[in-house]
Amino acid sequence: MSESLELVHKWSHTYSILSTCAFPRKKLLFAGTQDSKILVFDTVTYNLIKVLHLGQSIDVNTRSSVLCLDKSMDENSLFSAGADSLVRIWSIGEVINTVDTDVKIDELVTIYSVTDIGDIFSIRYIDSLETLVFGCQNASLLYLDNVFKRLQGVLSSDESNANRLPHRRYNKFFDSNGPTGSASPFLAKESSIESFSLDENPAILSNTILEIPSSNIVNYAHNGFIYSICELDSQFKDLLESDCSGCPPVKDATISEYIISGSGDGTSKVWVFVADEHNDVALYFCKMLDCEDSVLSQDVEFPFLYCGLGDGLVKIWDLSTNQSVSTLSTPIKSDIISLSVYNDCIYAANESGITLFQNGEVELINTHQGKILSSGIFERIGPNGKVYPNLLTGGNDGSLTLWNLSCTVCGKDLSLTQLEENWSDSMQTQNVNTENMLDTLKDLIAFETVSQNMEGTSFGLSSRRCATYLQQLFANLGASQSRLLPISDSLNPTVVATFTGNEKSENKRRILWYGHYDVIHPGDRDRWNTAPFTLTCENGYLKGRGVSDNKGPLVSAIHSVSMLHKQNKLKNDVIFLLEGNEEIGSPGFAEVCKKYKNIIGEQIDWIMLSNSTWVDTLHPCLNYGLRGVINARVTVYSDVPDSHSGVSGGILQEPTTDIIRIASKLQNDDDTISIPNFYDNVKEIDQEELKRFSEISEVAEMEKNGSTEELIKNWTKPSLSLTTLCTSGPGNITVIPRSASIGISIRLVPGQSVDSVKENLQEYVTECFETLSSSNHLKVEILNVAEPWLGDPKNDAYQILKEEITKAWNMQPLFVREGGSIPCIRTLERIFEASAVQIPCGQSTDNGHLYNENLRIKNFSNMAEILYNVINRL
């Protein structure tokens, strides 16, 4: 047995266990069976304490599989439904004796429909509306609102006539000639919701029946059986209420609740229940998600919907952007009949057992209980107050099994108290709450937001969760708008949030802060001194992947602005624009900025960012220049497969030889670049900048490239680097590869045109290949590009930053340029017609993109203090 599941107890029954429901507070478990029973177990002695027979007070001959169960939040009611087209409500009393467990259980009411609905496959009780909703074999959704209010008024003999029940009126579903109901729901006419207690209403008899009004039947809600219904908690509401096209206005509703139904027609549909001031309830369709295969099971964990499909597939939707973000596959390709999710761990049940998807790993767990037909996760509170998550599964061999989810309670979180104990009082800022900053950074580092090669890994889901976390964080901190802007299903969304300043004058400015929440892969985790995705505080430094690039500086900016807003001191508007794909070249980012420019802001005065470090460990810096980049791959390939050098050597024109000849023509012997027109518009630096570089070279303690000449080359001159050489085949020294490729990274400087250099590169490489008269083939791919950027270090923003940095660090900052690239800066400047300023946060030893990434706490806190003072001065 896997360590991921710890067996707690196992029970056996003669027939299949089709449905399960846990009452953790009352320490009870309920299991619906194929032979018309609901088995009741306690979790103290693990005994079978009761067996409930369906229809025992109305029809002792009832035989019906119990296909679905649900409960009320207070655990006073159990709801069951199944193959007899009926829903039953059971009153569950308090446990009388914890030693010899006993509990009073009564069948309160049987609910039926005049429509022949067939089997009921799914049921959900919505507590806030006292409404039952269930999905049926005839593809209809039915609901009964104000259930207990209705129950109080149906004591007449006519309403309680048991001969009206479906199994006494109809033949089997597909032979039925029963009536149909209305497909258009509207507001029901009932009184206000009141709490109901069996003890307070002894006149309510166990054979009471209730009829679903025809107005509460949505015929053809799907085009297939409705296998599952999930209720969405409050975290989803803001997203859905602003997004669901076709939804009615809910602003006048006193209560609105959302559900998602999954069907054999391959779709999941979002619906909303709304109640007015009279507690009249109506159901409306919102939107549809096309899963392209039967949706047999569902579960939700914010912000995702998980859909269990056929052939062992689990499709995951981001409900914040309505995008399909991942499709997982179980080792055995059989239908996912049941699905449960807890703390990002996915438990997919099919005939092979349970497949656990966790942190990018896939584990098949054989539970030895036949085909699993039902499952559910619930939390038990131990005597020490600790939460213990449990998984309850039912199989077609009659087994009911209780598991402890040991994998989800391993100590992943670093105690915030432990971190705060290492937080020196001398590092507290005057105006910003650094404990809150630390808390936020701890959360952000825990998201494994690696943007490279996300397909088939947990990184994509973690990135989506991080984006949603940021969206909620902004809302909680007082942003007037906070939303996600989708790019594509395979790319992470962009987060936009606005803090509105209180300045009323025409001098009010709008400042755009750019950042990114994605990170570089941590690589071999054994080479880290600390866990890369756990924030660690040691010796005055914060450690973890992303603390420097770019989550630490981002947190400093967020909390400086939010504190100004909280104190009612924020004068200017500040818009945060955070992308999740910067580390892969910002694909789609320009399109998002253009498409949603009206949301981000038509008028922007300044663009600010912090996405680099100082040039050493001592001197704060302001950056005003970056080189651009063109990354390309050139491949030569043959029609002949990999071959043996002893057989084909000297006969074939070899791709590796061709690619080396091409590479040799890219640069001259003096290291100048041979691409035609490459140096057009490259300008020499002026005397003022030369003097600045000389001063930096003298005072900065750089480990490498520290001379004036080296700074000039690295910051102001273009370059071409051959970064990779790859061949096909096994790598055997006697094998002639069928294909060979080189990676080319070209760094550009202000004045050079990305488009011109890109076009000249492609033409020149093609010409070089043609001179070889080779029988092989050539492919030139441009992987990503970024424009060079040069700011104005004399503008107002840089001068204000210079003053505030000098106050914070007791020294003037160095004005520097860099040899690296940030793809978005020129894009933002061009789209929003504003100047950008770049404020490095960490030190040269931060190890961004490397092992053991770190950020000095003093830099982290001082950055927040500097921005707190700068924002209103711009």
3-state SS, 405-457, equals: CHHHCCCCCCCHHHHHHCCCHHHCCCCCCHHHHHHHHHHHHHCCCECCCCCCC
Residue 411 CB contacts under 8 Å (≥ 6 apart), including other chains? none
Q: How many CA atoms lie within 13 A of 243 on its CB side?
A: 21
Paired residues of 458 in beta bridges: none
Looking at every residue in the chain, the average pLDDT score rounds to: 87
Residue 207 CB contacts under 8 Å (≥ 6 apart), including other chains? 57, 58, 110, 160, 162
Sheet holding 304-308, edge to edge: 297-301, 304-308, 313-318, 323-329
- Predicted confidence band of residue 249 (pLDDT cuts 50, 70, 90): low
Paired residues of 372 in beta bridges: 395
Count Cβ atoms below 10 Å from residue 273 Cβ, excluding itself: 24
| Whether residue 411 has pLDDT greater than 60 | no
- Tokens at 152, concatenated: 């109080």
User: 562 burial class (0-12, 13-18, 19+ CB within 10 angstroms)?
Assistant: buried
- Tokens at 303, concatenated: 């912000």
Residue 710 CB contacts under 8 Å (≥ 6 apart), including other chains? 704
For helices 655-664 and 754-770, angle between their N-to-C axes, nearest 10 degrees: 130
- Cis status of the peptide bond prior to 522, with omega within 30 of 0: no
Tens of pLDDT along 724-750? 999 999 989 999 999 999 999 999 999
∠ CA 729-731-732 to the nearest 5 degrees? Answer: 105
Question: Quick one: which of 201, 167, 174 has its CA closest to 84?
Answer: 167
What mean pLDDT is predicted for residues 223-238?
A: 90
Residue 298 CB contacts under 8 Å (≥ 6 apart), including other chains? 228, 229, 230, 260, 262, 268, 305, 306, 307, 308, 339
- Predicted confidence band of residue 185 (pLDDT cuts 50, 70, 90): very low
DSSP conformation class of 100: S
- Give the whole-angstrom CA distance, residue 713 versus residue 709: 6
State the DSSP string of 821-845: --TTHHHHHHHHT-EEEE---B-TT
Coil, strand or helix at 527 = helix
Residue 409's pLDDT is what? 42
- Predicted confidence band of residue 167 (pLDDT cuts 50, 70, 90): low
pTM for this one?
Answer: 0.79
Q: Are residues 785 and 628 in contact, defined by beta-carbon separation less than 8 angstroms?
A: yes
Paired residues of 11 in beta bridges: 400
- Tokens at 286, concatenated: 């919102």
- Predicted confidence band of residue 193 (pLDDT cuts 50, 70, 90): very low
Q: Say if strands 338-342 and 323-329 run parallel, antiparallel, or are unpaired.
A: unpaired
Q: Say if strands 297-301 and 304-308 run parallel, antiparallel, or are unpaired.
A: antiparallel
| Whether residue 241 has pLDDT greater than 90 | no
Q: Tell whether the torsion through CA atoms of 446, 450, 455 and 460 is positive or negative.
A: positive
Count Cβ atoms below 10 Å from residue 426 Cβ, excluding itself: 9
User: 849 burial class (0-12, 13-18, 19+ CB within 10 angstroms)?
Assistant: middle
Question: Quick one: which of 624, 395, 589 has its CA closest to 496?
Answer: 589
| Whether residue 433 has pLDDT greater than 50 | yes
* Domains of the chain as residue ranges with CATH: 54-290 (no CATH), 416-608+832-873 (3.40.630.10), 628-682+718-786 (3.30.70.360)
Residue 252's pLDDT is what? 63
For residue 787, CA distances in Å to 324, 744, 763, 835 come to 32, 16, 20, 15
- Give the whole-angstrom CA distance, residue 832 versus residue 606: 9
Residue 705's pLDDT is what? 73
Task: Write phi, then psi, for 478 (nearest 5 degrees).
Answer: 105, 10
Residue 163's pLDDT is what? 53
Residue 288: alpha-carbon gap to chain centroid: 19
Residue 401's pLDDT is what? 94
DSSP conformation class of 130: T
Coil, strand or helix at 804 = helix
- Predicted confidence band of residue 256 (pLDDT cuts 50, 70, 90): confident
Q: Say if strands 103-113 and 208-212 run parallel, antiparallel, or are unpaired.
A: parallel
Residue 718's pLDDT is what? 97
- Give the whole-angstrom CA distance, residue 696 versus residue 691: 9
Tens of pLDDT along 99-121? 556 899 999 999 999 889 999 99
- Predicted confidence band of residue 406 (pLDDT cuts 50, 70, 90): low
Task: Write phi, then psi, for 449 (nearest 5 degrees).
Answer: -90, 50
∠ CA 316-319-323 to the nearest 5 degrees? Answer: 60
Residue 410's pLDDT is what? 38
Mind telling me the catalytic residues?
518, 582
Q: Are residues 236 and 302 in contact, defined by beta-carbon separation less than 8 angstroms?
A: yes
